[in-house]
Structure 1
Amino acid sequence: MNFKTSYDSENRIWKSESIEQLFNPNKSIGAVALYMLRSKPRNAVCQISDSEGTELTYGTACSYAISVASYLKELGLGCDDVVGIVGQNTTLLMPVLVGCWINGTPYNTLHPIHEEEDIRLLFALTKPKIIFCDGEAFHKVQNATNILNAPIYTLCNHLEGVPRIQDILQPVPMAELYQAAPLKYGANQTMAIIPSSGTTGKPKAVCRSNCKLLSEIGHTDGSSVLFSFSSPDWGTGILLIVANVLCGGTRIITTKPYTPEYLLEIITKYKVTNLTGSPNQFGDLAQLPSYTAAVMSSVRVIVMGGCHALPSVQTNIRAKLTHGVLVNSYGTSEIGGISLNYSDYKVDTVGRLWGGAQLKIKERVPDDVQKLMGPNEKGEIWVYTSISWMGYYNNPEATADIMDADGWINTGDVGYMDDEGFLHLVDRSKDILKYMGFHYSPHEIEETIVSLPDVLDACVFGVYDDKEGDLAGAAVVIKPGSTLTESDITRFLTEKLVVKYKLLNYGVFFVDAIARNSNGKLLRAKMKEICLEINKETGSKVLQR
C-alpha cells in the first residue's frame, strides 16, 4: 500500500489525499469512549499487565473510568484545568486517562524516568489540580510540585499514609446513565498534553486536541492484540490506548524494561498482532536466533518510528514477517503521523505523505530569508495538516518559534522529496554540524560506523573549536570480545566518506551503551556530555576498555 502524493509545482507544495475520519471530531472522545466501552461484553478482557499479572475487563475499565470522571467533577475540575500523571503502563492508568476524557479535563502525562527538574518545569506550565503517579516516583513528584498544593494519588506500589487511586474508584450511583461532558471549545479542545521528546533541549508541553486523538486509531479491530513499550507520555502510547478503547481488542502492558528477548517473549506468549516501537527495538529483535517466521506468525502489523531505520535492519525484520507488514513511519510529537512506507520499495525513505498532510521544503538563505525548494533539493521540512495544532501549552513564544501565521509547522528535520513523492530524511536541523565552512550530518557518519560488523550502536556529536568549527566525535558500542580500535574505525571512515569534514576529527569513545529516551530516541547532547566527561577523567579521547 502506498498513499498518493501530488506536487503543486507552482507553489512547491506536496499534498497527500485526505482520509475521512471514522468518528465525528465534534463529539467528545470521552463520549465516544464511554459508548464504545459500554458496547463491549462486560467480561471481555481489554487489557493484560504482564508485569503485574492482572487482567482488566471492558466492564471494569468503564466502571473505573466513570468513578474517576465523577470524582474530578466533584472537585469542580473541567476543561480549563489539568490532571497531572507521572506513571508507566500499569493496570489502573488507562481508566484514569479515560476518566479524564469523560470529564473533558486534559491530562499531562510524564514518564517516571523524567528528572525532578523536568517534572517541575512542565507542571509549572500546566499547573495540574490533582496528580496521579507511580509509588516509586511519589517523593520526586512531591518535591517537584510542592508549590502547586495539588493532592497526589499513587497508581501502584502504594506508600503508607499516601492517598491511592483505589480511594477514588468507588461505585457511582446510576453509573449506566452517566454522560460525558460536552466539548466547550469544539473539536480543537485540548484533551491530552505530552512532553516533547527532549532530544534537542528541555521538553515542552505539547497539546493534543480532541480531533487529533480521534483521528489516529491505527490498524486495529476487535481481534487485535496490541503491544508497545511506549507509555502515554508518547504519541504511540496514546495511540494504542485510543485504538484499544475505541476499536476493541486486547492491549498488553508492562513496566519491565525493554530487551529483545522480553519483546519476543511477549509476542509469543500473547500472540501479539500489532506492534509499535523504534527501529532499534525491532532491529535487535531480528538479530535473535529465536526470531523465526513461526514465532512471528501472529503479527499483522509492525509500525516503527522515532529514529532512522537502516535498510538492512528493515530487511532483517521483513525476512521473518511472513504474515504481516512492516510500516516505517515518520512524525513528530507536535504533528503526529506525517508519512508512511508500507513496502520494501525505497526503504531508505519514510514513504509518502498521508492523512491530508501537506509539505514544503525550505532553505534558509542570507538575511534569514526562506527559499522554497523543489524535488530532490534539501532543506528544512515544514508540514501543514487539516487538524489544527493547538501549540505548546502556556508557551506562545515556543509555539511561534516553530509555527508560522498560516499554521505551517517546522519539524526541525532536514530532508527532501524525490520525483516520486517519497520523503528522504537527512537529519535534525539542529544536529547539522559545520567544519571548516562545510556542513555535514552526524547521522550519515553514524550509519557508516554501524555498518562495521563489530559495531552495535553509535552516536556522533560535534565539539566546537574556534579555528575549525564542529569537530566530530563518536561514541561507539562494539560487540563483546571485539578487538576493534579507534584507528580501525577512522580508517574505515576515511575509505567510505573520503572528505575530511566528515571524519572523526575529535576521536572515538568506546562506551557500554548509547543514551536514548524511553522510546528509543537518541539523546545526542547526553552522549556528548558523557564522552567529554570521559575525556576529562582519563585525559584521553578514547575510553580504555
Structure 2
Amino acid sequence: MPYRPANFYDADLKIWRGDRVKHYFDPHLSIGEIIFQEMRRHPQLIAQISATENTILTRDELHANSMKVASYMRSLGLLQSDVVGLIGRNTTHMSAVAYACFFNGIAFHSLNISYERSTIEKLFDITKPRLIFCDGDEFEKVRAATASLDVKIITMRNHPTDSISIDEVLATPIEENFQPARLVQGNDQTLAILCSSGTTGIPKAVTITNSRQILAASYCLTTSDVQYTHSTLDWITGLLTTITSGVFSTKRIVADNVFDPAFFMRLVEEYKITWIIQAPSHMAMMTNSLAFQTADLSSLRYYLFGGSRASLETQHRIRSRLSRDCLHFAYGFTELGAMASINLHFDEKPNSVGRLVSGVKLKIICEQGESLGPDEVGEVCIHNGQHWAGYYGNPEETHKMRDPQMWFHSGDLGYVDDDGFLYIVERKKDMLKYQNIMYYPNDIERVISEMPEVAEVCVFGVWDQINGDEAAAAVVKKQGSDLKVQDIVDYVAEHIEAKYKQLNGGAIIVEDLVRSPNGKTNRMATKAFFLETKISN
C-alpha cells in the first residue's frame, strides 16, 4: 500500500504536523550500517543494471565493491572528519563510492558535472576533499580547479592515461573482518554535502545529516521494485534513490547519458521500472516527444516529481499514459534533506503539494514572523526535529536559513487549506510589482501552459521605469506546432482580465528554457536570455 500521510492542526499555535515517526530499523544505526546489513540479506538479488555501460551487479558484488573502495580510503588514512569529492554521472561504480563513504562515516561533497572550473574551485576550496572521484571527461577541469589542494583524483569512466582509474581502486583487498564504522557524532553526523541550486550566485555547500528522515514515504519499497532517477548524486533525489535502493534491496537502473525522453521511456518498458522520481523539465520533454503516445508506462507504481512546478496540462498528459493513479508531487528542499509533503490526492487537490510526511511540522508566517491560519498566504517554514550542520563553512547563510527554534525558512510563499493540504504559490523573491500592484509569475504561467501548443513556459518581470515589472514570457512550443508570439500575447489577454498580468514586456519562443545544473528552470538566466534576444533583434 502506498504511504498515506495524515495531518494534524494545532489551532492555538497555528502549526500543522504529520504522523509520528515509526522506527523500522534500530534508531541508533547509521544509514551506512543499515545498508551494510541489508545488502548481506539478499546477496543474489540484482542490485543494479547500467543501461548505458551494459553492466549488471548483484547485491553481493556491489557490497564487495563498496567494501573495496572503503578499504582503499582506509588505506590512505582518511578520517571521519575528512571529505571525499564527487563530480560524475550515474556510472556503474558510483553507488559503490557512495556506499563506501557511508560505511566509513565520511561525508562526500557532490558537484554537478556542468560546473565550470571557477565554480568547482570555489566549492572544493570550502570542503577541501582529500580524495575526488570524477569522470575522465572532467578530469582536466577538476585537476586544474584543485591544483592548490593535496588531493588524489580517481576517474570513473573514460580514463586519461595519467589518472587513477576506479578499476585500480577496486583491486584493493577488503580489510579483514570489515565492519562499517560507528559514527563519532552518532546520527547527527553529516552524511553528504550537496549544492544549492545556485540560481542567485555560487551554490552553497548544503550538509545532509544521517537522519532517518530521508526514508520517510519510502517504506512502501520492496525487493520487487525497480527504481530509476536520472538525477546524479549532487541532487537530493539522486541521493534519496541511492540510499533507498540500498536500504530496501530494490533493483536500480542507472544511465550515464544526457536525458533523452525516448530513451528513458524505453528503459521503463524494457526493465519494468516501478518507481521513478523526476524533474518537471523531464516530464515536459517526455510529453513533447514523439514516442510519448506509444510508450508503455504500465509498470510504474510510484511516479514522483519535485524540485519545481509541473503544469497541470503536463500532469494530465502524463496521467493519461499511466495504468494507475501514481503521479505524485513531492515537496521539499535540499537543506531539509528529505521530502516535506507529498500529494496522493490529485483529483481532489490538483494544485497542492500534499500533506506532511511523518516527523515534519509546518507553519506559515507573515512578514513580521507571526504564524498564520488556514488559507492565509505567507512563508512556508518546516521543522523536522533533526540536527543540521548548516551550509559548510558559511554560518551567516546558515542562520538565515534556519532560526534558533530549528525552523527552516524555505523562501517559498504558500498556504494550507482546511484539509491540511499545502499549496506553494511562488518563490518569495520572484514576486513582481506592476504599478505598485504585486503579482506572481506563476499566475500567468498557469494560463499559458493551458495552450495546447505549449510544452513549457517561464514568466519573469522586465523592468520599466514607469510601470515597474512588466511580465514577459519565454515559451517552448510542442513539436510540430506553428505557435506564434502574438498567439501567446492574445491568449493571455483573452484569459486574464487584469492589466498588470498581461504580457506587457512581450514574449519569445525558444528551443528550451535556461536551466540550473539540477534541471530546474533558472528564471533569472532565462530572463537574461530574453533581454539579449530582444536587444539583438
Give the TM-score normalised by structure 2.
0.94
Match of 2:86, SS?
strand
Q: Is the Cα–Cα contact under 8 Å of residues 376 and 415 in structure 2 kept in the other structure?
A: yes
Q: Is the Cα–Cα contact under 8 Å of residues 23 and 214 in structure 1 kept in the other structure?
A: no
Q: Which moved more, 1:510-519 or 1:444-453?
A: 510-519
Match of 1:509, SS?
strand
Using the alignment, how far apart are the partners of 2:463 and 2:410 within structure 1?
25
Using the alignment, how far apart are the partners of 2:147 and 2:470 within structure 1?
43
Using the alignment, how far apart are the partners of 1:456 and 1:209 within structure 2?
37
Q: Is the Cα–Cα contact under 8 Å of residues 293 and 322 in structure 1 kept in the other structure?
A: no
Using the alignment, how far apart are the partners of 2:443 and 2:25 within structure 1?
42
Could you tell me how far 1:179 is from its partner in structure 2? 1.0
AA at the equivalent of 2:20: S
Could you tell me how far 1:328 is from its partner in structure 2? 1.4
What does the per-residue CA deviation read over 1:362-418, in whole Å, with 9 as the maximum and x for residues that have no partner?
Answer: 121xxxx32321111111111111223221111111111111110001111111111
Distance 1:287 1:462, change over 3 A: closer
Instruction: Pick the aligned partner of 1:9 from 8, 11, 15.
Output: 11
What does the per-residue CA deviation read over 1:132-161, in whole Å, with 9 as the maximum and x for residues that have no partner?
Answer: 100001111112111113111111110012
Match of 1:76, SS?
coil
Could you tell me how far 1:311 is from its partner in structure 2? 2.9
Using the alignment, how far apart are the partners of 1:211 and 1:457 within structure 2?
36
Could you tell me how far 1:174 is from its partner in structure 2? 5.6
Q: Paired residue for 1:543? A: none
Q: Paired residue for 2:393? A: 394
Match of 2:223, SS?
coil
Could you tell me how far 1:255 is from its partner in structure 2? 1.3
Q: Is the Cα–Cα contact under 8 Å of residues 433 and 470 in structure 1 kept in the other structure?
A: yes
AA at the equivalent of 1:169: L
Could you tell me how far 1:101 is from its partner in structure 2? 0.9
Q: Paired residue for 1:542? A: none
Distance 1:283 1:104, change over 3 A: same
Matches within 5 A, 1:219-230: 219-230=220-231
Q: Answer yes or no: is 1:274 the counterpart of 2:275.
A: yes
What does the per-residue CA deviation read over 1:518-537, in whole Å, with 9 as the maximum and x for residues that have no partner?
Answer: 54311111111211221222
AA at the equivalent of 2:136: G
Q: Paired residue for 1:19? A: 21
Matches within 5 A, 1:234-383: 234-286=235-287, 291=292, 295-323=296-324, 325-335=326-336, 336-343=338-345, 344-364=347-367, 369-383=368-382
Q: Answer yes or no: is 1:510 the counterpart of 2:489.
A: no
Q: Paired residue for 1:528? A: 527
AA at the equivalent of 1:188: D
AA at the equivalent of 2:197: S
What does the per-residue CA deviation read over 1:333-358, in whole Å, with 9 as the maximum and x for residues that have no partner?
Answer: 11121111112321111111112211
Q: Paired residue for 1:118? A: 119
Q: Which moved more, 1:469-478 or 1:19-28?
A: 19-28
Q: Is the Cα–Cα contact under 8 Å of residues 341 and 351 in structure 1 kept in the other structure?
A: yes
Could you tell me how far 1:115 is from its partner in structure 2? 2.1
AA at the equivalent of 1:497: I
Q: Is the Cα–Cα contact under 8 Å of residues 131 and 150 in structure 1 kept in the other structure?
A: yes
Using the alignment, how far apart are the partners of 1:290 and 1:136 within structure 2?
30
Using the alignment, how far apart are the partners of 1:457 and 1:326 within structure 2?
19
Using the alignment, how far apart are the partners of 2:144 and 2:536 within structure 1?
32
Match of 1:84, SS?
strand
Q: Structure 2: which 5+ runs fail to align?
A: none
Q: Answer yes or no: is 1:198 the counterpart of 2:201.
A: no
Using the alignment, how far apart are the partners of 2:470 and 2:420 within structure 1?
35
Using the alignment, how far apart are the partners of 2:475 and 2:290 within structure 1?
24
AA at the equivalent of 1:193: I
Q: Answer yes or no: is 1:88 the counterpart of 2:72.
A: no
Match of 2:64, SS?
helix
AA at the equivalent of 1:526: A
Q: Paired residue for 2:496? A: 497
Q: Paired residue for 1:421? A: 420
Distance 1:312 1:535, change over 3 A: closer
AA at the equivalent of 1:382: C
Q: Answer yes or no: is 1:131 the counterpart of 2:142.
A: no
Q: Answer yes or no: is 1:67 the counterpart of 2:68.
A: yes
Q: Which moved more, 1:422-431 or 1:31-40?
A: 31-40
Matches within 5 A, 1:167-182: 167-172=168-173, 175=176, 177-182=177-182
Could you tell me how far 1:248 is from its partner in structure 2? 0.8
Total equivalences in the alignment: 532
Q: Is the Cα–Cα contact under 8 Å of residues 108 and 193 in structure 2 kept in the other structure?
A: yes
Using the alignment, how far apart are the partners of 1:282 and 1:32 within structure 2?
33
What does the per-residue CA deviation read over 1:157-204, in whole Å, with 9 as the maximum and x for residues that have no partner?
Answer: 1001211122221242564x2011111011110011111122343211
Matches within 5 A, 1:95-174: 95-172=96-173
AA at the equivalent of 1:75: L
Could you tell me how far 1:329 is from its partner in structure 2? 0.9
Could you tell me how far 1:284 is from its partner in structure 2? 4.4
Could you tell me how far 1:74 is from its partner in structure 2? 2.1
Q: Answer yes or no: is 1:208 the counterpart of 2:216.
A: no
Could you tell me how far 1:47 is from its partner in structure 2? 0.7
Match of 2:429, SS?
coil
Q: Paired residue for 2:189? A: 189
Distance 1:213 1:424, change over 3 A: closer
Match of 2:124, SS?
helix
Q: Paired residue for 2:78? A: 77
Q: Is the Cα–Cα contact under 8 Å of residues 29 and 214 in structure 1 kept in the other structure?
A: no
What is the aligned-residue identity percentage?
Answer: 37
Match of 1:338, SS?
strand
Could you tell me how far 1:214 is from its partner in structure 2? 5.8
Distance 1:492 1:189, change over 3 A: same
Structure 1 vs Structure 2 CA RMSD: 2.0
Q: Is the Cα–Cα contact under 8 Å of residues 288 and 455 in structure 2 kept in the other structure?
A: no
Could you tell me how far 1:243 is from its partner in structure 2? 1.4
Distance 1:174 1:400, change over 3 A: closer
Matches within 5 A, 1:441-520: 441-480=440-479, 482-520=481-519
AA at the equivalent of 2:12: E
Distance 1:480 1:340, change over 3 A: closer
Q: Is the Cα–Cα contact under 8 Å of residues 293 and 321 in structure 1 kept in the other structure?
A: no
Distance 1:419 1:92, change over 3 A: same
What does the per-residue CA deviation read over 1:297-353, in whole Å, with 9 as the maximum and x for residues that have no partner?
Answer: 221111111111333333332233224622211111111211111123211111111
AA at the equivalent of 1:338: A
Q: Is the Cα–Cα contact under 8 Å of residues 135 and 159 in structure 1 kept in the other structure?
A: yes
AA at the equivalent of 1:87: G
Q: Is the Cα–Cα contact under 8 Å of residues 2 and 341 in structure 1 kept in the other structure?
A: no
Using the alignment, how far apart are the partners of 2:318 and 2:510 within structure 1?
26
Q: Is the Cα–Cα contact under 8 Å of residues 49 and 252 in structure 2 kept in the other structure?
A: yes
Using the alignment, how far apart are the partners of 1:30 and 1:318 within structure 2?
36
Q: Structure 1: which 5+ runs fail to align?
A: 539-545
Match of 1:392, SS?
coil
Distance 1:536 1:312, change over 3 A: closer
AA at the equivalent of 1:158: H
